Amino acid sequence: MNILQISNKALFPPDGGSLAILNLANAYARLNHNVTLLNMVTHKHYNKDSDIRVLKEKNIELVGIDVNTKISVLKLLLNFFFTKRPYTLERFINQNFSNRLISLIVQKKWDFIQIEGLYVLFYIDIIRKYYPGKIIYRPHNIESEIWFENAKNTRSILKKIYFTVLANRLKKFELKYINSYDVLLPISNTDAHFYTGNGNIKPMLATPFGVEISQPDSFYSQISKPENTPTILYIGALDWIPNQQGLIWFIKKCFPLIINQVSNVELLIAGRNAPKWFVKRLSSNNNIRFVGQIENAYDFFSIPGPMIVPLFSGSGMRVKIIEAMAFKKAIVSTPKGSEGIDKLNEEKILISNNPLSFAENVLKLLKNRDLRNSIGNTAHDFVLNEYNIETIASKAIQFINQH
């Protein structure tokens, strides 16, 4: 089969969205399908030449189009007062991308075209104009819910107003395009409920992020390192407002409780695109070490210690939880952070959104290596059984062919 995937972000540096796209593309290719991945190269994401060559050898053609998605205050204000289109979406509307999409559509016979995420769903009208075949939509989040929660969690009146307006615009866009596709592949059952509740009548199958179990088991095993300093790990894109809010909550309300019992504990934070004000806030605490963007998340996961996912806004599923579980990490998360991952219990992950119990869970894992290893091993087995990307991709292909 010939498959065309389109997305609004290139592959590097990897984050939840780009990994969800790439892992499924890799799985399609390993199932002997020909994949072309058309994505946007922005100031945040780009395609490395080495990746293009490697993917070509795997039967994946990578096509990147330069798109300027930088936030402009002037354009934001003009958008806010003179249009009803969400600005977060408007930034990804680009004529060069449209032209390349059209040329790809007409130059080859495609078995299906897969749209990855809301911010390229706008292009479905162009696809319909030039392509008579099957269109698959794989939403990664319910974007409006994220911004409604951002509005709820911010203390700034101006941000609350803007985030609410943006959320309402996004929801109108999401509802407008329900049933415009032929098959729906939401990334979680939680997101699937949104579409069911809002009138989706098209065939739907939850198609989550998955890990590549074809890698040797050692690929998902912790590297043994000396545990001289008790360490808590955090990784996430720090230009994303929900991550900022959740991390500040942890540092302000939970971390002092932990330091009170383990005075030499270190919170190790990895993340890209952290604003200067945020870095300054992190550097004010001697128990926090900010390492910024890292080349390889797997090296980070290999550091001994529990991982935290303090999140109060979001949708879809947290890719970093699935990856960390595959690396046998013991994790403490809020309920929102673990949302979208089915069949979780305290044998696989510890969950709390109360500062005291969240801190207590982290302390349990810091003080009890056997508990940490037990949870990590159980989580590892769970992910490899339930989130095998080749099984997920095979089910998706079968579902698409049946409908």
How far is 348 from 381, CA to CA, in rounded Å?
9
| C-alpha 344, offset from chain centre | 19
State the average pLDDT over residues 140-144: 93
Rounded-to-integer distance, Cα 21 and Cα 34, Å: 15
* 234 and 381, same domain (yes or no): yes
**Same structural domain for residues 165 and 185?**
yes
- CA 263 to chain CA mean position, Å: 33
- Confidence (pLDDT) at 217: 42
Task: Give φ, ψ of 324 to 5 degrees.
Answer: -65, -40
Check whether residue 259 and residue 338 sit in a common domain. Answer: yes
- Cα distance between residue 22 and residue 353, in whole Å: 32
Mean per-residue pLDDT of the chain = 91
Composition of the chain by helix, strand, coil, percent to 5: 50, 15, 35
Q: What's the N-to-C CA distance of the chain in angstroms? A: 15
Please indicate, yes or no, whether residues 100 and 167 belong to a single structural domain of this protein.
yes
HSE at residue 282, side-chain half, CA atoms within 13 A, is: 22
Cβ neighbours around 31 below 10 Å, total: 15
Which class for 185: exposed (0-12), middle (13-18), buried (19 or more C-beta within 10 A)? buried
| Residue ranges making up the domain that contains 140 | 2-210+388-402
pLDDT for 219 beyond 80: no
Kindly state whether residues 235 and 176 are assigned to the same domain. no
Give me the number of domains the chain comprises.
Answer: 2
% of residues, the chain, pLDDT over 90: 73
Q: What is the pLDDT of residue 284?
A: 85
CATH number of the domain that residue 31 is part of: 3.40.50.2000
Contacts of 344 (CB under 8 A, 6+ apart): 338, 351
236 and 374, same domain (yes or no): yes
Q: Is the pLDDT of residue 216 over 80?
A: no
Q: 393 and 373: one domain?
A: no
Q: Which pLDDT does position 262 carry in this prediction?
A: 95
Residue 30 pLDDT more than 80? yes
Does 24 lie in the same domain as 68? yes
Residue 254 shares a structural domain with residue 195? no
* Sole residue written with tokens 């799985």: 27
Angle at 12 between CA 208 and CA 69, to 5 degrees: 95
Residues 360 and 223 both lie in one domain: yes
pTM of the full structure: 0.86
User: Domain check: are 268 and 341 in the same one?
Assistant: yes
**pLDDT score, position 205:** 97
Residues 134 and 264 in one domain: no
